[in-house]
Amino acid sequence: MNEIIPGHTEKPADYYTLSLKVWRKALSQSQRETLLEVGKEKVILFAQQVLKRMDDLEMATTEPLFERITQDDTEYINAIWCLAAPGTWLRPWKNDRYIKATYSAWWDRHQMIASMKISEAIGRRRANLSLIESLPEKSQKEVLRLSPPIVYNGRPDENDSLRKAINQGGYRTEFLRSKLHLIDTDRGELFNSLDQVRSIRLPDRKLESGDRIGIVVRPGQAVRLLHFMNNLNNGFPSGVKVKIFPVRTGQEGIPAHHIQETCGLLYYLFTTRDAAEEPYPYEY
């Protein structure tokens, strides 16, 4: 387990070149005037920190998924929050800014599958059962009962895709039907990661200080998300224990996805002020 304390991230020199690419790309966007006022030096320094955190999470994906589940995760995780991502459960892409990014095919489905694996693994550990052996029906029901719920708060088309999959039957339908909690919103295709932070809750109540959640997400989106979560105006409570279970971006998407997510974070930090300068405290 690695605990990240905001503000204590090293800034290796090799992130400087990437941060310059972020700077140039961001200046071509609507945030140009704001960033020029903030100043190149401050933006470059911040971008280096962000890129380093993304890279650290990327490295964590090389460790087998089940080995990243700690005893604290097993005992205390209240829910797995699966972030919406490019594509849907039924389609490799959807109509969003990633529709031409071939590297992002099926990301949404892959993150849901990872979420199910983590939830079931925690359920098996809570039942003191093997993580890999086939189980008799009685044990399967006990694992299902003990597995933490999976919370997903996506766009209407993303949520509807999962509902359709459950109704049609198929991969892990019983598990999804039992453990998946969908949160519907009314912003349609305008719904984004910031909205997900503002609408996240447990199946039966609001998140509270002392809760522990696992978040399944790509490294680039994870870092941007954490800066949203640390802005008190977005309603995410302090004192929640956050465990990131990153899913690898893949070589085709690096560094493009990290650069894009960093540019997005710059916009939300300096232009709209919806992001905090430091990320929410987290483990991975």
Tens digit of pLDDT per residue, the chain (284 long)? 444 434 334 444 489 999 999 999 999 999 999 999 999 999 999 999 999 999 999 999 999 999 999 999 999 999 999 999 999 999 999 888 888 899 999 999 999 999 999 999 999 999 999 999 999 999 999 999 999 999 999 999 999 999 999 999 888 899 999 999 999 987 666 678 999 999 999 999 999 999 999 999 999 999 999 999 999 999 999 999 999 999 999 999 999 999 999 999 999 999 999 999 999 999 99
Give percent of the chain with pLDDT exceeding 90: 87
With b for 16 or more beta-carbon neighbours within 10 A and e for fewer, the 205-237 pattern comes to: eebeeebbbbbbbbbbbbbbbbbbbbbeebebe
**Interval 90-120: pLDDT, tens:** 999 988 888 889 999 999 999 999 999 999 9
Helices (H) and strands (E) in the chain, counts: 11, 7
All structural domains of the chain with their residue ranges: 3-283
Residues 6+ apart with CB under 8 A from 34: 270, 271
pLDDT at 186: 75
pLDDT at 271: 98
Distance (Å, whole) CA 224 – CA 234: 13
In this prediction the pTM is 0.93
pLDDT at 269: 99
pLDDT at 188: 63
Distance of CA 107 to the CA centre of its chain: 11
**Interval 129-140: pLDDT, tens:** 999 999 999 999
Distance (Å, whole) CA 108 – CA 86: 6
Q: Which long-range contacts (CB under 8 A, 24 or more apart) does 40-44 make?
A: 43/19, 43/266, 43/270, 44/16, 44/19, 44/20
- The three-state secondary structure class of 30 is coil
Strands in 101-158 per DSSP E: 150-152
The number of beta carbons lying within 10 Å of the beta carbon of residue 250 is 16
Backbone angles phi, psi at 229, to 5 degrees: -65, -30
In the numeric block, which tokens belong to residue 1?
Answer: 């387990």
- The three-state secondary structure class of 240 is coil
